[in-house]
A and B are shown apart, each in its own frame.
Chain A
Amino acid sequence: MKYLPTIGIECHVQLATKTKLFSEVDNDARLKDPNSCVSPIDYGLPGMLPRLNGAAILYVIRAGLALNAQINLFSRFDRKHYYYPDLPKGYQITQLFQPLIGSGYVELPSHKRIRIEHAHLEEDAGKLSHADGYSLVDLNRAGTPLVEIVSEADMHSAAEAREYAKELWRLMTYAGVTYGDLYNGNMRFDVNISIAPEDSDKLGTRTEIKNLNSFRAVERVVEYEVKRQTKLLEKGQKVKQETRGWNDAVGETTAQRSKETAQDYRYMPDPDLPPIRLEAKTIDEQRKQMPKMPADYRTWLDGVLPNDIIEILLDYQGLMEKLSEVSVILLEQQNMLEKINATLKKLANLFSSVLLAEENTSLLNDALPSARQLIDLAEMNDRKELSSTAMKQVFLKFFDPEMRYKESLTIAKELGVMQDNDVESLAQIVDEVLAKPETQKAQADYLAGQEKVLGFLVGQVMKASHGKANPATVGEILRQKLST
């Protein structure tokens, strides 16, 4: 029997606020000592009360806008109770009953829409590390603001789950909601998976795999679970509703907690926090500040660049913004649309072939060249002043600390890669080459009708010009000289 998987994803996104959700302590604990970013509030000292970081609300509004979602003018905080040493108060402050963000959707590159059920603001817990016979608690992360984004179960394959996770990451980083550092757990995915016969209108029993921190893991988990659940059903067994853990090294999920032993979180409204009442004005202000989103770039570049290049470049908001900047300048200079598109294509190719080449990806951490530099570079190539290879060489120099503020022309000259397009000076070199004894045979062959040897002669001229000659021009000159 053929089974159709159904997948829903909950994603925890750490907000890039300066301070924590309910205290004034530094929210960025990367590279800091354990328990060095902890206030009495985060520590759960007696008598401590939460102070709401208003910036976090704005970040969640931006998340909501990125999700094309309803933003609720009235929302509240609730307490979710459970005991664990990384949860200092014995409860997590979250939003169950009235969340800040209502329903919305994420549009995948395929244009399929994955519906968002809701998204809410909550605090993160700390971290435990286990040693032999004891465990250590680090509360640096306790109280970090999170937005939890809950999707509908609208996905039906591992690839789609991965695509969704990745698109969510793009949306959240584009909107500036999070640093999006997956390695440091800035975004963590909980995946719900069930399978059911393709013709069935009922969903199967689902399992939940928590705390995945890469798109690849999301994809592999779905692949694994679909296989595992299919095997069970084919053997006539049942899928147990449970939480399972993912072992990335082994590539397996293992049972953790079944539904029977699931905790009762005893939710209640948090009496220490008044409700959040937003004004429409606040949302509008955020809307105005929203940058171009992936969907905007897709619409813009549709037909200009191949889809696969668009998708690759979309992972780098900076590159997209740069292309956009370039196009604005070219438009202002009243260039024809065709020329603009050709330039964008040229730069996009440069980005994808040079910058995203394995050995150069570290350059992406640097500041990008200015739009002016890029336009000059592309135009020099248009004018055949730079060969494609030379253009790449100059482009790489934009990331050289000693070169980065120089004009493209200056760099090209310093590198000595300017192409020689001057027919007179090239004709002189051609004459010199044609006078050489080692080219005589080739000349004779060409005259005898062997067109192919022209390439050899062009090569000889290129060599003599130290690579600066424009090969096309050289070919023209050679043809002329030999035919007369």
Chain B
Amino acid sequence: METLFAILIGMFFAAAVYLMLSKYSVRILLGVALLGNAVNLLLFTAGRLTREVPPIIPAGVDALPSGTANPLPQALILTAIVISFSFFAFLLVLTYRAYQELGTDDTDEMRVAEPRGEDRPPMGY
């Protein structure tokens, strides 16, 4: 099972990297979103895969029965999902604004902050 997940995570990463290598900001954004999901799966697998026994302590017992899923990776993933979700929302707004303001989604053409042909520092006066 872990092997299968490792292959799946690898495919996720490959797709994410491929998309992020694009010069169009929308594709980069999609790549970042995929990357977040790849990492979540990775965290999930890192906590060892078990059959579906939820980590809930039954009434009258003090500790988890054996064979339950590890709750910590789930907590980590939940945090990571929340964070990547809010980042994705922010980046979405930012990309949209960048497209409106700069008139392009091609990152090669986004040269407002670093214009071509800037002055060299003077050599003497």
Report whether chain A binds chain B: no
B: residues with CB less than 8 A from A are: none
A: residues with CB less than 8 A from B are: none
